[in-house]
Amino acid sequence: MMDHQYLKIALVLLVFIPLLLAQHVDTAWVRYYNAPVNQNDFAAAIAIDNVSNIYVAGTSYQGGAGIFYDYLLIKYLPNGDTAWVRKYDGTGGQWDDSITAMTLDNIGNIYVTGFINAQYRDYGTIKYNPDGVIQWIALYNGLDNLDDIAIDIAVDDSQNVYVTGVSDKQTNWDWVTIKYLPNGDTAWVRRYNIAGSGPDEPVAIAVDNSRNVYVVGNSYISSGESYDWVILKYSPSGSLIWERIPSGQFEDRATGLAIDNTGNIYVTGWWQNSNHDYYYRTIKYNSAGTVQWDNLYNGAFDGQDRASAIALDNNNNVVVTGYSSSQYTYLDYVTIKYTLNGDTMWTRRYNTPDSVNDIAVALAIDDSNNIYVTGYNCIPGRPAEDIISIKYNANGDTMWTTRFNGIGDSTDVVTDIAVDNSFNIYLTGYSHNGTNLDFLIIKYIQGITDIGLVQILLPDSVDSGSVITPQVVIKNYDVTSQTPWIYCKIGTFYADSLSQSIPPGYDTIAFQPCTLTQVGSHIVTSYLFLPGDINPGNDTLLDTIIITATGIFENRAEIKEMFEVLPTITPRKIRIKSQNGFIVYDVSGKKVLEYNNTSLEHNEYNLNLASGVYFIKPNKGNSIVKKIVIIE
């Protein structure tokens, strides 16, 4: 067979279809941690670094002298293997120590806080490097040498650390907020208490891009004998810039805080009316502390509507979740999405088929603005049973729901959720193993119902009478095998189809052999069909094959030199050298453009065509066909 070169322009088809329609989720792995003494272990927080390592922090009954609870921090690799375990016993086993919160900085250091007990509890904040080596430990003992309990922690982009919590001063509890420098030295300490009030309790802390610090919580106002929300803003140097106490009538509790990249503050929780019904309440403040909007949500059945978590998406839309009374006196998940202006985009209620309470406790949002809500269900008056997690897309459509029942078929509680850059979801909490409670860590991976054609495997040209076996390369983007129908067609004289299971990743499929006798250039079409495929844009490929008779293309090199097609950096333009002009066809074979002017130089042509795949051939003189793609 003669060596007939056939020049192809690489086909690069960019299909910008968001993967918003994931159909299912699978469990990648589940890990439990049970301390050697086989007692209770409680995970409180989870965080993911930039390479998808997982950090879980909580409290573990480790045994030893006195047998008390200790700090416990575990690092897992993405495959679920344990990288290291770090226990911290602040007083040598004499008292309980407990982690309440954790965060990571932008270079992979880990920070935990909580309380370390030495008869009375003190703030205990520890910085670890990514290898689990302690960098510093900072303790805080309040004014009267009584209990001091850290509740939440944040870190800024310069590795300054901020901790807030409560401090007992005999008559009541104060908020205490501390800023630590990157080396662990104390920059400042600020106490807060409303004059004449009862106990005060912060619930969350955050820092903005200018290193202003925000603390939200609840203060017991003695005049009303109930809790009210309090929001504080401190400057980077610790000066109190403003204090806000939203008006309320009865028992109001803040539960969550979020800050956007322009310094707006969002707070959520619940508000009680005169009938003692609870409403979701979400407030947006600007950086000056001025209310931008204040939204209430009351479910159709009044009763208990309590928001438990808040997060922002990439467009500064606000998502809150929690639980709400249902028609049958049970509680349901309720998730609400607001625009940045406070308009309600959608509200979604979730109720398990069981006659139980469904309590949403945490949420996370990925880079594509998909929303993940998690919580647990329980029979009223009894411990939690199973963990229920839901994915909504940005429009509020339910993508999947998954349920976790641990090995003990008993209590399973989720406390925190995180999502990584690859859209894997991680949960932590604790699970009853039949004897006691263990740390629980779950990694979910998402199945994407998408199979695409990658390449048609055929020679560029063959002699008439040759026998070939058409093949295609397919990629299954899902995490489970899928079985599509796959088709191949050459010109008008060959067609074959088959259905075959395709495992995750790449696979090569062979069709029935065929004998090629029709001399000329023929379009090869391959396409596939899979029910539920979310990305049909990668389901079709086109190519060409030239069937030659011996001696027809002896002067092929000369012809090639007379017709060349080159890409340009200018959208929708190409450079063509042509002796006889050229014709452009779409994928259906319809002629869409024809240029009759000729040039032996490379001239630019503005095709002005819609995005898609096209074929270019000379007006006359040979059968070379060249393939291009127009991209937006």
Q: How confident is the model at residue 137 (pLDDT cuts 50, 70, 90)?
A: very high
Q: Are 123 and 147 in contact (CB under 8 A)?
A: no
pLDDT digits (tens, 9 = 90+) for 248-305: 777 889 999 999 999 999 999 998 887 878 899 999 999 999 999 999 999 877 778 9
Average pLDDT over residues 146-170: 94
pLDDT at 198: 63
pLDDT digits (tens, 9 = 90+) for 54-105: 999 999 987 655 568 899 999 999 999 999 999 998 876 567 899 999 999 9
pLDDT at 16: 32
Of residues 104, 46, 18, 27, the one with CA closest to residue 370: 18
Instruction: Please list the residue range(s) of the chain that carry CATH number 2.130.10.10.
Output: 24-447
Instruction: Please list the residue range(s) of the chain that carry CATH number 2.60.40.10.
Output: 451-548
Q: Residue 537: pLDDT above 60?
A: yes
Sequence-distant (≥ 6) Cβ neighbours of residue 411 within 8 angstroms: 383, 384, 385, 430, 431, 432, 437
pLDDT averaged over every residue in the chain: 85
Q: What is residue 252's three-state secondary structure?
A: coil
3-state class percentages of the chain: helix first, strand second, coil last, to nearest 5:
0, 55, 40
**Exposed / middle / buried, residue 21 (Cβ in 10 Å: 0-12, 13-18, 19+):** middle
Q: Which homologous superfamily is 24-447 in?
A: YVTN repeat-like/Quinoprotein amine dehydrogenase (2.130.10.10)
Of residues 235, 237, 233, the one with CA closest to residue 264: 233
Sequence-distant (≥ 6) Cβ neighbours of residue 216 within 8 angstroms: 202, 203, 204, 205, 229, 230, 231, 232, 254, 256, 257, 267
Sequence-distant (≥ 6) Cβ neighbours of residue 392 within 8 angstroms: 335, 348, 370, 371, 372, 373, 398, 399
Instruction: Please list the residue range(s) of the chain that carry CATH number 2.60.40.3080.
Output: 556-630
Of residues 321, 371, 367, 319, the one with CA closest to residue 344: 319
pLDDT at 61: 84
Q: Which CATH number applies to 556-630?
A: 2.60.40.3080
Q: What is residue 245's three-state secondary structure?
A: coil
pLDDT at 448: 73
Report the alpha-carbon distance of residue 594 to residue 607 in Å, rounded.
Answer: 10
Of residues 136, 109, 113, the one with CA closest to residue 124: 113
Phi, psi of 556 (to 5 degrees): -60, -45
- The number of C-alpha atoms within 13 Å of 630 and in the hemisphere containing its C-beta is 18
Q: 631 or 366: which carries more pLDDT confidence? A: 366
Q: Residue 615: pLDDT above 80?
A: no
pLDDT at 196: 57
pLDDT at 19: 39
Q: 15 or 97: which carries more pLDDT confidence? A: 97
Task: Give 134's strand partners.
Answer: 128
Report the alpha-carbon distance of residue 416 to residue 429 in Å, rounded.
Answer: 7
Q: What is residue 178's three-state secondary structure?
A: strand
pLDDT digits (tens, 9 = 90+) for 584-601: 776 556 678 887 765 555
Instruction: Given CATH 3.60.21.10, say whether it is the number of domain 451-548.
Output: no
Q: Quickly tell me which residue has 């406790």 as its tokens.
A: 361
Q: How confident is the model at residue 352 (pLDDT cuts 50, 70, 90)?
A: confident
pLDDT at 301: 79
Q: How confident is the model at residue 621 (pLDDT cuts 50, 70, 90)?
A: low
Strand order in the sheet with 134-140: 97-104, 110-118, 120-128, 134-140
Q: What is the DSSP letter of 125?
A: E
Q: How confident is the model at residue 20 (pLDDT cuts 50, 70, 90)?
A: very low
pLDDT at 626: 65
Report the alpha-carbon distance of residue 199 to residue 173 in Å, rounded.
Answer: 5
**Exposed / middle / buried, residue 622 (Cβ in 10 Å: 0-12, 13-18, 19+):** buried
Of residues 354, 300, 309, the one with CA closest to residue 327: 300
Average pLDDT over residues 165-188: 92
Q: What is the DSSP letter of 557?
A: H
Average pLDDT over residues 598-624: 65
pLDDT at 12: 29
Q: What is the DSSP letter of 10?
A: P
Q: 368 or 565: which carries more pLDDT confidence? A: 368
Of residues 242, 246, 194, the one with CA closest to residue 220: 194
Q: Residue 571: pLDDT above 70?
A: no
Q: Residue 397: pLDDT above 50?
A: yes
Ranges 229-233, 420-424, 616-620: which has the least confidence: 616-620
Q: How confident is the model at residue 156 (pLDDT cuts 50, 70, 90)?
A: very high
